[in-house]
Amino acid sequence: MAAMWSPIIALLLLLLPLVPSSSSAITLPLHGNVYPVGHYYVTLQIGKPLKHYFLDIHTGSNLTWLECQHPHLGCQHCTQGHKHSYYSPKLSNLKVGCQHMYCVALRKDLPGINPQCPIKEPHQCHYKIRYLDGTTEGVLSLDKISVGGKENNIALGCGYNQHPRKPSPVHGILALGMGTVGFVPQLKLQKMISKNIIGHCLGKDGGGYLFFGDKQFGSEGITWAPMRRYELFYSPGQAKLHLDGQPEPIYKHGVNAVFDSGSTYTYIPARIYNPFVHTVRHMIGSSHREVHDHDLPHCWKFKSIDEVKRLFKPLSLQFDNKIAMHIPAMNYLIHTRSNNWCLAILNGTHVGEDRRILIGDATMRDMLVIYDNQDGRLGWVHQQECTRPHPASRL
């Protein structure tokens, strides 16, 4: 009898960490990597009947959306290869009127690109969102989602028009931004979690975990910074980029920095990027010439990883109040398929990001990052590896 029940008990024990209570968190495993996948994503069940979808975790986005087969408009410029699993809501799911609380909130969450309310379609909430690499257009939907063993209705986007179309392993985006229509505020509103706190640990070699709510984990060594109001982005304020503890920054003026898990790489404005690349070239010496790589712009070949670690010095982002984020060489370099070592910090001006530093996935690898919307603070600490957190003190 004991042998018969043991696998069932083992399965229940595995599921326990995912079951939310009034004081617990929901923890989800992450898949993907910085390179070559370019995404860290979760698997969620959405729709009626429930189907599995891969969603890119995105702390710079305020609307969760899926590539969608709209009942009338189809799916324009959608990713080839996903057709069998496009989100296909019913018309009744899309009847989210312009005066619905989620549509009103969405107008505030998408500054400058407000959802339109056409006279001919007042019963639908249209939106258009711009990202670094393109746009998505759609209408708001209300549908079922299963999280932590419970089902609830949430508002999400039926994204029927993506531009440009390009291959992607994900079906859409899980919005973890500061907006009120974001995924976590909706979970809190429905009492699936008790606190609006988000955390992620992106594995250096892939995988990791994502959590929402009142998570328990060791707080030793966490660097905390006040969350500065910067549009609807998570920002610790202005930052200056330093090399290897040097007192003088690479660029003398501070620039607003934001955490954006939807960005594969870290982007800095050209006025910082150009002297940064010059500094790196000087650091590794003229004997190492740059080589061409199909994936990234500044790359070199080395004999061993020990040589890489010896030549490339750590960086740091220095914020106000002497708060710093230390960036080891392995957090700003990528080892490509061509056996090159390339900079994972890119020129933001080339993609229209000239006003701020985007701290992307490459920099946050093997780092626990916490977005504490309850107490208005951001935290980070380097980890040996991004496995599931062990229970410890609460936030």
What is the helix (H) or strand (E) element at residue 138, kind and residue range? Answer: strand 134-147
pLDDT tens per residue, range 147-163? 988 899 999 999 999 88
pLDDT tens per residue, range 160-193? 998 887 788 999 999 999 999 999 999 999 999 9
CA 16 to mean position of chain CA atoms: 25
> Between vectors from CA 174 to CA 172 and to CA 28, what angle results, nearest 5°?
115
**Which domain range does residue 179 map to?**
18-213
Interval 298-314 mean pLDDT: 97
200 neighbors 363 (Cβ within 8 angstroms): no
Give whole-number Cα distances, 56 to 30, 32, 136, 288, 389, in Å. Answer: 9, 9, 14, 36, 21
Last residue of a domain, one of 213, 248, 266: 213
Return the pLDDT at 163: 87
Interval 225-251 mean pLDDT: 93
53 beta partners:
44
19 against 151, higher pLDDT:
151
Handedness of CA 124, 86, 46, 372 (dihedral sign): negative
Q: What percent of the chain has pLDDT over 70?
A: 87
pLDDT tens per residue, range 349-365? 999 999 999 999 999 99
Rounded Cα gap, residues 185 and 178, in angstroms: 9
Rounded Cα gap, residues 186 and 352, in angstroms: 31
Q: Is the pLDDT of residue 83 over 70?
A: no
Rounded Cα gap, residues 333 and 83, in angstroms: 35
Collect all residues with Cβ–Cβ distance below 8 Å to 72 and sequence separation of at least 6.
none
Which CATH number goes with the domain that contains 258? 2.40.70.10
Q: Is residue 11 part of a domain?
A: no
As a residue count, the chain comes to: 395
Return the pLDDT at 24: 76
Q: What percent of the chain has pLDDT over 90?
A: 73
Q: Is residue 242 part of a domain?
A: yes
Give whole-number Cα distances, 390 to 150, 216, 386, in Å. Answer: 23, 8, 11
Classify 91 as helix, strand or coil. Answer: helix
> Between vectors from CA 366 to CA 351 and to CA 355, what angle results, nearest 5°?
25
Same domain for 377 and 233: yes
Backbone angles phi, psi at 366, to 5 degrees: 50, 40
63 neighbors 135 (Cβ within 8 angstroms): no
Same domain for 312 and 240: yes
Q: Is residue 394 part of a domain?
A: no
286 neighbors 361 (Cβ within 8 angstroms): no
Last residue of a domain, one of 170, 186, 213: 213
Interval 65-92 mean pLDDT: 83
Return the pLDDT at 25: 87
Q: Is residue 391 part of a domain?
A: no
What is the number of domains present in the chain?
2
Report the mean per-residue pLDDT for the chain.
89
Q: According to DSSP H, which parts of 215-357 are helical?
A: 270-284, 305-311
Q: Is the pLDDT of residue 7 over 50?
A: no
151 neighbors 144 (Cβ within 8 angstroms): yes
